[in-house]
Structure 1
Amino acid sequence: MITPAKKEIASSPKLIRRKSAIREWFDSVLFAVIAATLIRWFFFEAFVIPSSSMEHTLLVGDYLFVSKLHYGTRTPVTPLQMPLTHQKIWGSEIPSFFDWISLPQFRLPGFSEVKRGDVVVFNLPVEHPNLYKNYEAVLPNLKPYPIDLRTNYIKRCVAEAGDKFEIRNSQVYVNGVKSLNPPEMQNEYFMAVTTAINEANIFRKNGITEFSPYMETQNDTLADNDEAGYIVKTTAQTAAKLKAYDFVKHIEKTVMPKGLRESHLYPESDLFNWNKDNYGPVVIPKKGVTVKLTPENVAFYGEVIQNYERNYNVVLKEGKIFQQGKQLEGYTFKQDYYFMMGDNRHNSADSRYWGLVPKDHIVGKAVFVWMSIDPDPVGFMSKIRWNRLFSIIK
C-alpha cells in the first residue's frame, strides 16, 4: 500500500538537467569534427594548387575537390593523428601525428581504376625513410613520413601499369602510339623579338605567368643562339597567337636533343642517356608480372623492389639485387605502378625525376575546381577567377 505522501513523490515529473552553453558548444564542435573527418576520409577532400606544374589545366590558387570514392578509400596507416590535419598542426612546425602505431593498409572497393589521362592526387613516394635524402637536389627540404602522411602531389597519369612508355622529342607515346596531349598542356618556347616589349602587358594579357629574358647560358638547347628574346612557358595555341605580333621574329618550342643526358633524372644511372624530352622506352610495373633483372632493369626497378614492395632484407649492390644474401634473377611485382607528369611539361618535378607512383600511394581523382583565387591580381575585382568556379577538371 502506497501512502499519499509517497504517491505524490512517485507521480512527480522527473527533472531534466539542461546542458550548459559550454557543453552544448563542445558537443556541436565534436560532432562537426567527427563528421568532417569521416567525409574527408571516405568521400572527398579539398586541396589547393600551390605551384605551376599543372598549368594551364590547374592554376596556382585553384581550390579543388578530390574524390576518394573513384579509386577506393584507403584505410589509415597512422591512426594517432589530430583530426583534419596532414603532417603538422595548423600554422606551426609541430607534427600532428605519432608514429607509435602503424596499421596495415587496405583499400575499399572503388568504381574506377586509375586511367591514362586522369588527374590524380597521390602521396609523394620518395618521402620514404630510405629515399628522401637521395632526391633533395630535385625536391629540397624533403622529410620522411608514413605512406598516408607523405606530401600530396597532383599530376596527370600518362601511363598505367603494364604500359610501355616513352617520350620522343617531347611527345608521349604509350605502347608505340602517340598519346593525346591535354588541351591546356604547356611547353617551353623561345620567342625572338626585334625590340624591347612591355613584359607585364604582353605576357599577362596572354595568360603567361612564367617568362624570363633569354640568356645563352640558361638553356642547353639554344646554346648557339645569339638572338634577343624570351623563354616562355605556354600552350601551343598561345604560342601561335604570340607569333602574330609584329615585334616577334619567330617562336619555337625548345626541346632537348635525344642522347643528351639530363642530370637528376630518374634513374640516376650511366646506363641511360635520357632527358625530359626523350625518355625511355620503359615498361611500367604491373601486379603479377615478372621481369628479368638485367642491369638496366635493376637500375630502373631496383628502388621500387627495395622500398615500395614491402620486401625484407633486399640489398642493391653492383647492379644486382640480393634478398637475404641470395641474388635474384627475376622479380614478380606485388602491386601496380603509374607514371605521372605535370601538364606544364618543362616545369614539373614528376616521375621523370623521382620515379614511379605505387598504387598504395594513390589518394584520389581530382574532380572539379570550386574556387580560384589569383595570387597576383591586377585589381581587387579580379582577385577571384570567376570563370573557373565549379569547373570540371579535364
Structure 2
Amino acid sequence: MSSHQLFVLFLISILLVMLPSFGIAGMFKKAGVPTWKAYVPFYNTYIMQKLADRPVHWVYWQFIPIVGWFITMGIFIEWVKVFGKFAFWEHAAAALVPFLYFPYIAANKDDRFLGSAVVKKHRKSTAREWIDAGIFAVVAATLIRTFVFEAYTIPTGSMEKTLLINDFLFVSKFKYGPRIPNTPLAVPFVHHTMPFGNGKSYTEIVSLPYIRWFASPVNRNDVVVFNFPTGDTVINKEEFQSKDPYYDVARRLGNGDINIGRNIILNDPETYPLVIRPVDKKENYIKRCVAIAGDTLEVKEGVVFINGKQNFIPPQSEIPYEIETSGQPLDPQIMRDEYNIDIENPEEFQPYGGNKFTMLLTQEAVDKMKKNGLAKTIKPQLQQPSDIPAQMWGQVTWPYDTLHKWTVDDFGPLWIPAKGATLTLTPQNYSVYERAIRTYEGNKLEVRNGKYYINDVETNQYTFKLNYYWMMGDNRHGSQDSRYWGFVPEDHIVGSASLIWMSWDKGIRWKRLFKTIK
C-alpha cells in the first residue's frame, strides 16, 4: 500500500470523527464536559468511551486502515446509548449520519445524558441481535465496495495475455480517490439490474453530481476499471447490452447513418427495448490507459506512440502474426508451455495451408520462435488503410466519419482533452470532440450555417472541464476499446486493477494466484 493510499485512508478516518463534532460538542455540554474536547480528533472518541464506560482501547483501533472506520461507527452507537437511544433507527442514524443525528440530540431539550447505568439495564432480544449483526455486515461490505476495493471478474479476452478470462481481481477504489456514487439509493451488491425481473437496482430520486475525494490522476500504462463511456443508452436484451452497443447497432441498421438507425430502433421498442443509465450504473470495462490528458496519441503499424515517442509495450500484449514454420509438427503441450498459445483455440491459432499459420502471440513468444528457428518467416498481421473498401470508411473506427481514415493499427494523431485546456473547433475535429463537449460535459452544441454554437452562444472555442484518457486492450486485435468509442472522462474512472486473487480454467490456475497486475 502506497503512502498516498495510507494518507487517503487516514484522512477518511479523520473526517469520520470530525464531521459530527458540532453535535458532539452539544452532547458533551449536556454531559458536563468542556465542548472544546469535541473538536480534537480521536480525543473526542476517547471521551465518549470514558463516559459510556466502554473500553478505551477501541480508540487505538480507529487507526487501523479501513477497520477503524467501523470501530468509529461502533463508538458512536455506544455513545448514543448513554442518552437512552436503543431503537434500531437511532443506532443506524448514529452510525451512518451522525453529523445530522448528533446535533438533533444536542438541540432536543428532552434528550439528557443518562450515563452508563441505563445501558447496563437494557437488554436486546435475540432477533434484534441478529438484525443488528446482519445490517452492520451489509453496511460494512457496501462501504468497502464503494470506497476501498471491489471484486471484478475478467469476462473477455481483450486484455490477454496480461489478464485471462476468469481471472478474479481486486480493484482499488482509492488509488485515484473514492468516487461518490451518482445514484446512492441502490440495492447493495447489485450493479444496475436486479437478478430477477430485469428491473433497475437503483433509483434516481436522489442523484448526485460527480464528486471524488482526494482525487489522484490516472497514470499512463495503468490497468484501469471504468464505466463504459457509450453505455449511457443500452438495448436491454442479453444479446445486446455492452456486447453489441446501442450506437454500433444504430450505425449498422442505418448502413453507416446513425440517425436512420436511431429511428429504426425507436420505432421498434419490442425488438430494441432501450434503457438510459447514469454514469455509475454503466457497464464496467477494464483496459490499459495508454494516453492521459494532454497527450498526443498515434498508432503506426500497430505500435503506439505518445507525444512522438514509442510507448511502453506490455510484456504479455498480443497481436496476430503470419508465420511460416520450418516444417516440424507442432506439439500442443510445447506450444502452450513455451509460447503460451493454445493451438486448439481458433481465436489464437489458424492454419491456412502448408506450414503457414496465423497465431496470436506475445512479443516474448515471437522472440523465442525467431531464436530457436521454429519460425521460418514471421510478420505482424496488421490492418492497413488500403485494406478498407471505399464504401466502408466511416464505419471502421471512431469517430466514424469519412475525414479520419483510421484503422486499429494506423490511428491518429489525436490530442487527448485536458481539464482547463481550450480547443478551437474546426470541421476537421468536430466529430472527434463533439461527444465530450455535449454528452460528457453537459453542453448544448450545434452547428448552424457552418458556425458553432455552445449553449446558444456563437463560438468556436471550448475549455474542457474534465480530464480524459485513452484506453486500449493488451489484445490489440481483440479489444473493443477507445479506437471504437473514443475518450474516457475522469468521472467514469472506477479504480485501478491491483491483484489477481483467484484464476480459473477447468481448475485453479495456481501460478496466477495473488499475482500483481502490471
Q: How would you bin the TM-score normalised by the shorter chain? A: 0.7 to 0.9
Query: Is the CA contact (8 Å cut-off) linking 2:500 and 2:515 kept in structure 1?
Result: yes
Q: Which moved more, 1:85-94 or 1:328-337?
A: 85-94
Q: Which residue of 1 aligns with 2:221?
A: 117
Q: Which residue of 1 aligns with 2:50?
A: none
Query: Is the CA contact (8 Å cut-off) linking 1:187 and 1:345 kept in structure 2?
Result: yes
Query: Is the CA contact (8 Å cut-off) linking 1:302 and 1:316 kept in structure 2?
Result: no
Opposite residue 83 of structure 1, the aligned amino acid is P
Partner SS state of residue 371, structure 1:
strand
Q: What is the rounded CA distance, in whole Å, between the counterparts of 1:389 and 1:139 in structure 2?
A: 41
Higher Cα Rg, which structure: 2
Q: What is the rounded CA distance, in whole Å, between the counterparts of 2:396 and 2:155 in structure 1?
A: 23
Change over 3 Å in CA distance of 1:15–1:177 after alignment to 2:
closer
Q: What is the rounded CA distance, in whole Å, between the counterparts of 1:355 and 1:386 in structure 2?
A: 36
Q: Which residue of 1 aligns with 2:509?
A: 385
Query: Is the CA contact (8 Å cut-off) linking 1:267 and 1:299 kept in structure 2?
Result: yes
1:32 corresponds, among 101, 114, 137, to: 137
Q: Which residue of 1 aligns with 2:63?
A: none
Change over 3 Å in CA distance of 1:30–1:176 after alignment to 2:
same
Q: Which residue of 2 aligns with 1:219?
A: none
Q: Which residue of 2 aligns with 1:234?
A: 361
Query: Is the CA contact (8 Å cut-off) linking 1:166 and 1:278 kept in structure 2?
Result: yes
Q: Which residue of 2 aligns with 1:136?
A: 249
Q: What is the rounded CA distance, in whole Å, between the counterparts of 1:364 and 1:77 in structure 2?
A: 16
Q: Which residue of 1 aligns with 2:230?
A: 126
Q: Does 1:181 align with 2:348?
A: no
The TM-score with structure 2 as length reference comes to 0.64
Q: Which residue of 1 aligns with 2:460?
A: 329
Q: What is the rounded CA distance, in whole Å, between the counterparts of 2:326 and 2:211 in structure 1?
A: 60
Aligned-residue offset at 1:139: 11
Q: How does 1:337-348 map to 2 (within 5 A)?
A: 337-348=468-479
Q: What is the rounded CA distance, in whole Å, between the counterparts of 2:199 and 2:161 in structure 1?
A: 34
Q: What is the rounded CA distance, in whole Å, between the counterparts of 2:278 and 2:451 in structure 1?
A: 28
Change over 3 Å in CA distance of 1:324–1:288 after alignment to 2:
closer
More helix by share: 2
Query: Is the CA contact (8 Å cut-off) linking 1:123 and 1:151 kept in structure 2?
Result: yes
Aligned-residue offset at 1:200: 5.0
Q: How does 1:65-214 map to 2 (within 5 A)?
A: 65-90=170-195, 93-110=198-215, 112-129=216-233, 133-136=246-249, 144-193=276-325, 201=333, 203-205=335-337, 206-209=339-342, 210-214=347-351
Query: Is the CA contact (8 Å cut-off) linking 1:242 and 1:248 kept in structure 2?
Result: yes
Aligned-residue offset at 1:84: 1.4
2:157 corresponds, among 52, 76, 93, to: 52
Q: Which has the higher contact order (CA 8 A, sep 6+)?
A: 1
Q: Which residue of 1 aligns with 2:492?
A: 361
Q: What is the rounded CA distance, in whole Å, between the counterparts of 1:178 and 1:315 in structure 2?
A: 37
**1:63-122 Cα deviation digits (max 9, x unpaired):** 111111111111111122101111122466332112333222211014x31111111110
CA RMSD of aligned residues (A): 3.0
Q: What is the rounded CA distance, in whole Å, between the counterparts of 1:316 and 1:121 in structure 2?
A: 34
Q: What is the rounded CA distance, in whole Å, between the counterparts of 2:331 and 2:210 in structure 1?
A: 51
Q: What is the rounded CA distance, in whole Å, between the counterparts of 2:275 and 2:365 in structure 1?
A: 38
Q: Which residue of 2 aligns with 1:9?
A: none
Query: Is the CA contact (8 Å cut-off) linking 1:122 and 1:362 kept in structure 2?
Result: yes
More strand by share: 1
Q: Does 1:301 align with 2:425?
A: no
Q: What is the rounded CA distance, in whole Å, between the counterparts of 1:137 and 1:30 in structure 2?
A: 44
Query: Is the CA contact (8 Å cut-off) linking 2:234 and 2:275 kept in structure 1?
Result: no
Q: Which moved more, 1:328-337 or 1:127-136?
A: 127-136
Change over 3 Å in CA distance of 1:248–1:151 after alignment to 2:
same
Aligned-residue offset at 1:340: 0.5
Query: Is the CA contact (8 Å cut-off) linking 2:416 and 2:468 kept in structure 1?
Result: yes
Change over 3 Å in CA distance of 1:143–1:342 after alignment to 2:
farther
Q: Which moved more, 1:199-208 or 1:44-53?
A: 199-208
Q: Which residue of 1 aligns with 2:423?
A: 291
Q: What is the rounded CA distance, in whole Å, between the counterparts of 2:234 and 2:479 in structure 1?
A: 23
The TM-score with structure 1 as length reference comes to 0.82
Opposite residue 361 of structure 1, the aligned amino acid is H
What fraction of aligned residue pairs are identical, expressed as a percent?
42
Opposite residue 207 of structure 1, the aligned amino acid is N
Query: Is the CA contact (8 Å cut-off) linking 1:135 and 1:354 kept in structure 2?
Result: no
Q: Which moved more, 1:68-77 or 1:231-240?
A: 231-240
Aligned-residue offset at 1:55: 0.8
Change over 3 Å in CA distance of 1:127–1:31 after alignment to 2:
same
Query: Is the CA contact (8 Å cut-off) linking 1:54 and 1:344 kept in structure 2?
Result: yes
Q: Does 1:62 align with 2:167?
A: yes
Unaligned runs of 5+ in 2: 1-119, 236-244, 254-271
Query: Is the CA contact (8 Å cut-off) linking 1:169 and 1:258 kept in structure 2?
Result: no
Aligned-residue offset at 1:371: 1.0
Partner SS state of residue 462, structure 2:
strand
